[in-house]
Amino acid sequence: MAVATYRLKRNVITFIHTEVPPNIRRKGIAARLISGALTDVRARGWKFRTICPFVASYIEHHPEVRDLLAGGEA
């Protein structure tokens, strides 16, 4: 099972860690997981932060989600 660990405080979600089992890595699963999570963030009108290296890398490659960053992070 792939998971994205997060903490929610008010309307800001902080992504802490993303993990995909070794036998299914490199298949785009983590990217789909985070994409879906950020779609939900947008639908709820929330913002997000990240301390997860995978999510940080994801937003570098997907500038269309940068408007969801809390506190003007980029």
> Each residue of 47-62: pLDDT tens digit?
999 999 999 999 999 9
Report the 10 Å Cβ neighbour count for 31: 16
Alpha-carbon distance 45 to 13, whole Å?
11
In tens, the pLDDT along 4-60 reads 999 999 999 999 999 998 888 889 899 999 999 999 999 999 999 999 999 999 999
Alpha-carbon distance 6 to 33, whole Å?
13
Alpha-carbon distance 38 to 54, whole Å?
13
Q: Is the pTM of this model over 0.85?
A: yes
Can you read off the two tokens belonging to residue 6? 């997060």
Pick the CATH number of 3-72 from 3.40.50.720, 3.40.1080.10, 3.30.750.80, 3.40.630.30: 3.40.630.30
